[in-house]
Amino acid sequence: MSLEAQTAVAGDEPALAYTPEVARATAPIYDRLRGVLPEIEWPIHAPYVDAINRLKRQRDAIILAHNYQTPEIFHGVADLTGDSLALAQQARDTDASVIVLCGVHFMAETAKLLNPEKTVLIPDLEAGCSLASSITGADVRLLRQRYPGVPVVSYVNTSAEVKAESDVCCTSANAVEVVESLGVPRVIFLPDEFLGRYVARHTGVELILWHGHCEVHERFTAEDVRAFRQSHPGVQVLAHPECPPEVLAEADFVGSTSGMIAHVGKSGAKRVVMITECSMSDNVAVAHPDVQFIRPCNLCPHMKRITLPKILRSLERMVYPIEIEPQVAARARRAVERMMEIGRGARG
């Protein structure tokens, strides 16, 4: 991102200076990022990294970052990182009085549900999700009328309003376990159609599906996977279950983002392509410098709304706090907590 762009997203405030003091303070951080972040970019990012890390200590704040955040956020300022399940668990367990959620809006809502007494901030209110926007609480109520007595499992990629209408939530890491735990032959599974198809293939449960899709993962095709194999012989293909079924059929491994990360560490593969959001490869590559990562580069426009200048502004001005109507929050919290109980320890 250019210096002009960084300044613009910060609200036309003057760019921070890259001083010798900032260079010294952030040098250990850049040493970790050297393989994935060009050196010419570090003088732009470093002043914000330094300012954020100092200010969060003053605010008694902790920064949670999803795996799809850019490396300067993920490795530069985040205290805790992971996929949706990991962030939910970590949000619940933190002692900090302020949580800054570097992800999308439903993730910040989930953090607030699990920490109602804490201040939860999201640096950009427009950081949404195509899955979360594909369904409403009214839609869930209509489905319950159409299929009376059938339990509703909602992916965490949903609003608090939808969670409040659900029996239990799930993530891509524990969806199969959550569905099977209900012990029923039929389940309403919302809103990701492709994840639902994946879960249906791995359980004996009939799933009633919604036709929501992730705008990042739905763009991948089986032809893309075959092209990667042709241009990069021996590459191991890891795919997220939000991808279309024909993409999953071409993959060597299918799993959540945390599952993919664990697989890279265990597999011994020397060449990998992760069929998911592009920044994740950069973040995983930091821990695996001996692995060649082929970048598919489908970017999530919502995740990319979170930037270092916006994180700094969030801490300086305590914006933007997440608020959920109490009755909605109480019901949504039960669905999330039930997921945590069912899926306790279910990572991967």
Here the CATH number for the domain that contains residue 114 is 3.40.50.10800
Q: Is residue 338 part of a domain?
A: no
Choosing from 184, 213, 242, the residue where a domain stops is 213
173: containing domain: 132-213
Sorted by sequence, the CB contacts under 8 Å of residue 285 that are 6+ apart come out as: 35, 36, 291, 293
> CB 39: neighbour CB atoms within 10 A?
9
Same domain, 18 and 105: yes
Same domain, 17 and 119: yes
DSSP string, 180-233: HHT--SEEEEESBHHHHHHHHHTSS-EEEE--B--TTGGG--HHHHHHHHHHST
How far is Cα 40 from Cα 11, in angstroms, rounded to an integer? 23
Residue type, 272: V
The three-state secondary structure class of 55 is helix
Same domain, 116 and 137: no
* Residue closest to 33 by CA, chosen among 271, 284, 222: 284
Can you tell me the mean pLDDT for 124-143?
Answer: 97
Can you tell me the mean pLDDT for 233-255?
Answer: 97
Is the per-residue pLDDT at 55 higher than 60?
yes
Q: Is residue 332 part of a domain?
A: no
Q: What does the pLDDT look like over 19-36, one tens digit per residue?
A: 999 999 999 999 999 999
Q: Is residue 285 part of a domain?
A: yes
Choosing from 159, 193, 213, the residue where a domain stops is 213
| Structure confidence at residue 199 (pLDDT) | 98
Q: Is residue 151 part of a domain?
A: yes
- Name the percent of the chain lying above pLDDT 90: 88
- CA dist 209 to 25, 97, 131, 155, Å? 50, 38, 13, 12
| Structure confidence at residue 92 (pLDDT) | 84
Q: What does the pLDDT look like over 165-211, one tens digit per residue?
A: 999 999 999 999 999 999 999 999 999 999 999 999 999 999 999 99
Same domain, 94 and 19: yes
| Phi, then psi, of 80 in degrees rounded to 5 | -135, 140
* Residue closest to 169 by CA, chosen among 346, 340, 329: 340
Q: Is residue 336 part of a domain?
A: no
| Phi, then psi, of 94 in degrees rounded to 5 | -70, 150
Q: Give me the number of domains the chain comprises.
A: 3
Sorted by sequence, the CB contacts under 8 Å of residue 22 that are 6+ apart come out as: 16, 46, 47, 50
Q: Is residue 256 part of a domain?
A: yes
Choosing from 160, 184, 213, the residue where a domain stops is 213
Q: Is residue 340 part of a domain?
A: no
Mean pLDDT score of the chain, rounded to an integer?
93
Same domain, 38 and 104: yes
Can you tell me the mean pLDDT for 242-250?
Answer: 98
Can you tell me the mean pLDDT for 211-225?
Answer: 97
